[in-house]
C-alpha cells in the first residue's frame, strides 16, 4: 500500500510511503482519494495530518508509468483531481507536514491543505515544464501568490522552506526530527475544539475563498492534456526517464 492511514484521539494520520521517492501511480492516487473520503465519513476524526516517510514528501506522478503507457494520463489526471479535491473539501482541517522535496503532486496536496508545516530541509517546486506537463499551479498559487507562481512554473525552480516561511506561505519551519511531533501537537489542539464548530469553520472558509480551487485546477488539466499529446511532451518524458537533456528543434515539435 502506498498510503497508510491510522486514527487516534480525534487525529488521523495519512502517510505517503511509496519508495524510492513517493511518486504515485494512477492506482496510488485512487487509493489516496478513497482514503481521504473514508476519513471524511468518520465522526471520530476532527483533524487530519498528511505526512510522508523516506527522503521527501511527494515527488508527483509516476513518470515511468506514463512513459510505459501514455493512456494512463486520463486515470492519473482523475486521481490527482479527486485527491486534491478530497483534501480541500475534507470536512475537518487538514495539515500537511512536508519534509525534503515537495514537487508536482506534492504541491497539489499541500496547496489543497488548510495548514502547511515544513522541516528545515524542505523545498517546494513545480518542475512540470521539464516533464512534458502542466498543472497544480492553482495549488501553488494558494501557497505563493501570482508572481512567485509564474516564475516557478516558467522556470521549474524550487524555493526553500525558509523562503516560503519568509513569504508567509507556510505556517512554520521546524527541525526535521521534530516535524511529526509539531504537526500532531497542532492537530490535537485543533481536534480538541467543538467538532461542530470545526466543520462549520472549514465549510465557511472554503466558501469565502476568492479562488475556486477545483474549477481552476480542472481548467488547468485541459491544457495539461493538450500538451501531453504533443511531441514536445513525449520528448520531455523520454529525456527524464533516460536522464538526459530534452532537445527541441522548434516550438511545438520535438527533435527526432
Question: What residue ranges do the domains of the chain occupy?
Answer: 3-178+192-208
Q: Is the pLDDT of residue 251 over 50?
A: no
How would DSSP label each residue in 142-202? HHHHHHHHHHHHHH--EEEHHHHHHTT-SSEEE-GGGHHHHHHHHHHHHHTS-HHHHHHHH
Cross-sheet strand order for the sheet of 172-174: 3-8, 11-16, 47-52, 94-98, 115-119, 172-174
Average pLDDT, the chain: 92
Residues 133-158 have a mean pLDDT of 93
CATH code reported for the domain at 3-178+192-208: 3.90.226.10
Least Cα distance to 47 among 115, 128, 135, 1 occurs for 115
pLDDT at 31 over 60: yes
Q: Determine the average pLDDT of the residues in 140-165.
A: 95
Q: Cα 184 vs. chain centroid, distance in angstroms?
A: 19
Residue 238's pLDDT is 86
Instruction: Give the pLDDT confidence score for residue 254 in this predicted structure.
Output: 44
Q: How much helix, strand and coil, in percent to the nearest 5, is found in the chain?
A: 55, 20, 30
What is the structure's pLDDT at 252? 45
Q: 101-125 pLDDT, tens per residue? A: 999 999 999 999 999 999 999 999 9
pLDDT at 25: 96
Query: What is the per-residue pLDDT across 50-61, written as a single tens digit (0 to 9) for each?
Result: 999 999 999 999
Residue-wise pLDDT for 176-193, tens only, equals 999 999 999 999 999 999
Q: What percent of the chain has pLDDT over 90?
A: 73
With pLDDT > 70 as the criterion, what percentage of the chain qualifies? 97
Place of cell 500538451: 227
Segment of 68-72, 94-98, 218-222 carrying the highest mean pLDDT: 94-98
Phi, psi for residue 3 in degrees, rounded to 5? -125, 120
* Lowest mean pLDDT across 33-47, 85-99, 222-236: 222-236
Which DSSP string corresponds to 214-228? HHHHHHHHHHHHHHH
Q: Where are the beta strands (DSSP E) in the chain?
A: 3-8, 11-16, 47-52, 94-98, 101-103, 115-119, 123-125, 158-160, 172-174, 248-250, 253-254
Residue at grid coordinates 465549510: 203
Query: What are the phi and psi torsion angles at 240 (to 5°)?
Result: -65, -50
Phi, psi of 158 (to 5 degrees): -105, 165
Average pLDDT over residues 40-45: 97
Q: What is the pTM of this model?
A: 0.86
Amino acid at each position: 500500500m502506498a498510503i497508510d492511514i491510522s486514527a487516534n484521539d480525534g487525529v488521523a494520520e495519512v502517510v505517503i510511503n511509496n519508495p524510492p521517492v513517493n511518486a504515485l501511480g494512477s492506482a496510488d492516487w485512487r487509493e489516496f482519494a478513497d482514503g481521504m473520503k473514508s476519513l471524511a465519513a468518520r465522526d471520530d476524526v476532527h483533524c487530519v495530518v498528511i505526512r510522508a516517510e523516506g527522503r521527501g514528501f511527494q515527488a508527483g506522478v509516476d513518470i515511468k508509468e506514463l512513459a510505459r503507457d501514455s493512456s494512463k494520463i486520463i486515470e492519473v489526471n482523475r486521481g490527482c483531481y479527486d485527491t486534491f479535491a478530497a483534501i480541500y473539501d475534507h470536512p475537518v482541517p487538514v495539515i500537511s507536514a512536508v519534509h525534503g522535496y515537495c514537487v508536482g503532486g506534492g504541491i497539489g496536496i499541500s496547496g489543497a491543505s488548510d495548514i502547511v508545516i515544513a522541516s528545515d530541509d524542505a523545498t517546494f517546486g513545480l518542475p512540470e515544464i521539464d516533464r512534458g506537463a502542466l498543472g497544480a499551479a492553482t495549488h501553488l498559487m494558494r501557497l505563493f501568490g501570482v508572481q512567485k507562481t509564474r516564475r516557478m512554473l516558467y522556470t521549474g525552480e524550487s524555493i526553500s522552506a525558509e523562503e516560503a516561511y519568509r513569504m508567509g506561505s507556510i505556517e512554520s519551519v521546524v527541525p526535521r526530527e521534530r516535524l511529526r511531533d509539531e504537526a500532531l501537537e497542532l492537530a490535537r489542539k485543533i481536534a480538541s475544539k467543538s467538532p461542530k464548530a470545526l466543520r462549520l469553520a472549514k465549510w465557511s472558509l472554503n466558501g469565502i475563498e476568492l479562488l475556486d480551487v477545483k474549477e481552476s485546477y480542472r481548467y488547468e488539466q485541459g491544457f495539461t492534456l493538450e500538451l501531453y499529446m504533443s511531441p514536445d511532451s513525449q520528448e520531455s518524458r523520454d529525456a527524464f526517464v533516460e536522464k538526459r537533456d530534452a532537445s527541441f528543434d522548434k516550438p511545438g515539435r520535438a527533435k527526432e
